[in-house]
Amino acid sequence: MLMNEKLQLIEENLHRLNVKLGDIELPNPVMPASGCCAFGHELNNFYPINKLGAIMIKSTTDVARDGNPNHRIYETSNGMLNSIGLQNPGVDVVIDEHITWLDSIGANTIVNLAGSDTESYVNVARELEARAKDKVTAIELNVSCPNVKHGGIQFGSDPQTLKNLVNEITKVTTIPVFVKLSPNVTSIKEMAMAVDETDAYGITMINTLVGMAIDYRTGKPIIANKIAGYSGPAIKPVALKQIYEVRQVTNKPIIGMGGIESATDIIEFLSVGSDAIAIGTANFNNPTICIDVLVDLLAIMDEMGIDHIDEFKGRAHV
């Protein structure tokens, strides 16, 4: 099936795929996950990214970051490790070069926001509010990026710290804020309940697990940062379980992710309580995965006699 045929099929079935996250309306539930689509330019060479539900761009910080030394990535059995280290050109460049372009082509942009202290987070939010609020669909607060030394993880691993950070952000921006939960906690429910008590608009989950790879010959870690984020199909069972639990404690919209590779994966994520889904690692092996799974999803819906994807939502809980 040619790409334009795929796009047309999706176009004709948007009434079966459209998603409402509170007041936010998306044409379909699929978006590439942050850090797995850069700022969209590359994927746009394969298909028009304004056809996506949305695009979650790379974590953006107040000032430019070089990120970590290499090796930054490594393969595992059915997944991968990464320790990129939040490399990004800083919020100003992101707005001028990327968000402006994404807006001009009509893409729904979700800006992933990262920092190493509350202030640096707030700076980015302020900047977005001041210069890009009409160009941005939502903010995704990365409180869990596990691969930055002295940073990230602690915000997402203590309920009170998390709550404080979210409150500081929602104070300075009118852009809907989604909090991206880290799976590497004792109780994901506690974290979700903390977010539920804030003005956060919704939740995205899960970020990467944390793992390590060793070169058996030298006995040394392969990733320069030693410890890295673990993603891909291998983490899917963990993602499904945590979204299932979080859905039990909040009614806020959830954008689910973690190892999604296929249309049946999407149905599983909707079943445990996701309202929309994101695809990360799978983009690396197939640049058109986000379009391909929508085509497959429609085929399965026809076969199962499902009119609208909403019929899949939350079935694991009834």
Partner 1 sequence: MELTSLKVIKHEKIAAKTYELVLQKPTHICPQPGQFAMVKVEGKFLKRPLSISNYTEDTVTFIYKVLGQGTKLLSESNPLDIEVMLPLGTSFNLETKHATLIAGGVGIAPMAALAKSLHENGTTVDVHLGYRTAEEVFLAEELKKYGTVTIYTEDGTAGTKGYCLPQEINSNSTIYSCGPHPMLNAVANKYPNKGWLSTEEYMACGFGICAGCVIKLKSGMKKVCQDGPVFAKEEFEC
Ligand X SMILES: Cc1cc2nc3c(=O)[nH]c(=O)nc-3n(C[C@H](O)[C@H](O)[C@H](O)COP(=O)(O)OP(=O)(O)OC[C@H]3O[C@@H](n4cnc5c(N)ncnc54)[C@H](O)[C@@H]3O)c2cc1C
Ligand Y SMILES: Cc1cc2nc3c(=O)[nH]c(=O)nc-3n(C[C@H](O)[C@H](O)[C@H](O)COP(=O)(O)O)c2cc1C
Residue 228 CA to chain centroid, in angstroms?
Answer: 17
Of 45, 174, 186, 218, which one interacts with partner 1 (CB under 8 A)? 45
Of 5, 42, 75, 307, which one interacts with ligand X (CB under 6 A)? 75
Size of the site for partner 1 (CB under 8 A): 34
Nearer to partner 1, 67 or 314 (CB): 67
Nearer to partner 1, 176 or 259 (CB): 259
155 binds its own copies (CB under 8 A): no
β-bridge partners, 210:
229
Nearer to ligand Y, 17 or 33 (CB): 33
Distances (CA, A) of 240 to 43, 105, 186, 260, 294: 27, 33, 16, 10, 20
CB 231 within 8 A of CB 261: no
In 58-74, which positions are buried (b, 16+ CB within 10 angstroms) versus exposed (e)?
A: bbbbbeebebbeebbbb
253 binds its own copies (CB under 8 A): no
Degrees, nearest 5: CA angle 255-154-147: 75
Nearer to partner 1, 89 or 314 (CB): 89
CB 122 within 8 A of CB 172: yes
Of 243, 277, 279, 309, which one interacts with ligand Y (CB under 6 A)? 279
Residue nearest to ligand X (CB): 75
Residue 295 CA to chain centroid, in angstroms?
Answer: 21
315 binds its own copies (CB under 8 A): yes
Nearer to ligand Y, 180 or 313 (CB): 180
CB 115 within 8 A of CB 268: no
Is the bond leading into 206 cis (omega within 30 degrees of zero)? yes
Which of 278, 151, 266 lies closest to 204 in space, CA to CA?
278
185 binds, among ligand X, its own copies, ligand Y, none (CB under 5 to 8 A by kind): its own copies
Residue 36 designated active-site = no
155 binds, among partner 1, ligand Y, its own copies, none (CB under 5 to 8 A by kind): none
Among 31-39, 242-250, 263-271, 302-310, the segment contacting ligand Y (CB under 6 A): 31-39
75 binds, among ligand Y, its own copies, ligand X, none (CB under 5 to 8 A by kind): ligand X
Q: What span, in angstroms and rounded, lies between the C-alpha atoms of 256 and 81?
A: 20
**What is the number of residues in the chain?**
318
| Local structure of 265: helix, strand or coil | helix
160 binds its own copies (CB under 8 A): no
Q: Where on the chain is the footprint of partner 1 (CB under 8 A)?
A: 35-38, 41-43, 45, 58, 66-67, 69-80, 82, 84, 87, 232, 281, 283-288
Q: Where on the chain is the footprint of ligand X (CB under 6 A)?
A: 74-75
Q: Where on the chain is the footprint of ligand Y (CB under 6 A)?
A: 33-36, 58-59, 82, 84, 86, 112, 142, 145, 180, 207-208, 229, 231-232, 235, 257-260, 279-282
What residues are labeled active site? 145
